[in-house]
Structure 1
Amino acid sequence: MARYTGPKSKIARRFREPIFGPDKALERKNYPPGMHGASKRRGKQSEYAVQLMEKQKVKYTYGVLERQFENLFHKASAKEGITGELLLKLLEARLDNTVYRLGISPTRSGARQLVGHKHITVNGEVVNIPSYSLRAGDVVAVRERSQSLEAITVSVAGRKINRYAWLEWDANSFTGKFLTYPSRDEIPENIKENLIVELYSK
């Protein structure tokens, strides 16, 4: 199961955004990493560099590697509608992302681990594939024997009620529902998906 395992603070500093969640290193050093630190003069980035950076940021945010991301983009471009928005909707429909959005885990990487370790079910069946694509109406739940895990109970206790309009959550049964794909304005991440579309259209 391929995934990024490198330094997260360094990546967050590169994009100057807490893409892996709150990061004290990012607060202390709000400039890109490198041996010259904040004093290094950086030239103006090319159009290609800006587009590539945006793609990389989205990949790290959702925990998707290059081949998976490219496949998702081609899938989005084959559908009717705005390709960039469709790409984000497909990313949001991933099982690991939905587990994170439901508040079962405080991070996407933690959600990916819960899925991989068979703590999550979809429509009553155990699914251990983080990239599993949900459809409207799918029910995502924590397995009964996993509901007492400290990592899950602490995360669920700290979640906000009805934080995302496209999801439904029942705290009593540790069950959530993927109601529909979110609209673009409902996705809170700071992403300029049009730059990614421009990159792939070259």
Structure 2
Amino acid sequence: MSLPLTLPPLAPQIGPVLETLSIVGTALFAASGALAAARLHQTLVTFAFFALVTGVGGGTLRDLLIGAPVFWVADPLPAIACVAAALLVWMTPRHWWSDRALDWLDAVGLAAFAVFGAAKALSFGIHPFVAGIMGVVTGCMGGIIRDLLAGEPSILLRPEIYVTAAALASGLFVTLAALGVPVPVASVIAALAGFALRAVAIAKGLALPGYRRG
């Protein structure tokens, strides 16, 4: 027996605020991918490739799962934003980017993408619970692909708060939408909450406890 959809009339249409979150998330994730390539002293081609797969990786998987046209194939703007971010990082001096710049860019992109991913899933009639999961997939998958390409331990294998921040952003957005909060307001509140949690985790080194047997 399937669970009933509780948000059919509230499923948000993708408006200016959500579109802004999407392009901001794409560009910032792309920049974090380019920074990962910079750490490895790679070529401009590698910069662009890292930026593209990081910027669109999560959204691509989301669209394939919910049966939507892949967003950057239907609209070239996200891919252009990724290449532009790669060029920006390539052309600026290395000392402009602190060692924590990747983490902070990733934190903003994570929160923005998690909210947009949940909203887009809702707009395609996906059950709210699953829509929240789609937000997490959208927010986290690009970073996971980036880390794998860079040969770094995946964020999933580190105890720091990351997926939890994406879950907070997407889950809070779905909840606020269900309560009737206007979509633009719910989007901003949820994105700020997800970013705040990730920011505190970065600044304070917060992490979830690991499994202990016995």
Common fold, TM-score beyond 0.5?
Answer: no
Structure showing greater relative contact order (alpha-carbon pairs closer than 8 Å, 6 or more residues apart): 2
Q: TM-score, normalised by structure 2?
A: 0.29
Larger radius of gyration: 1
Which structure is higher in strand share?
A: 1
Q: TM-score, normalised by structure 1?
A: 0.31
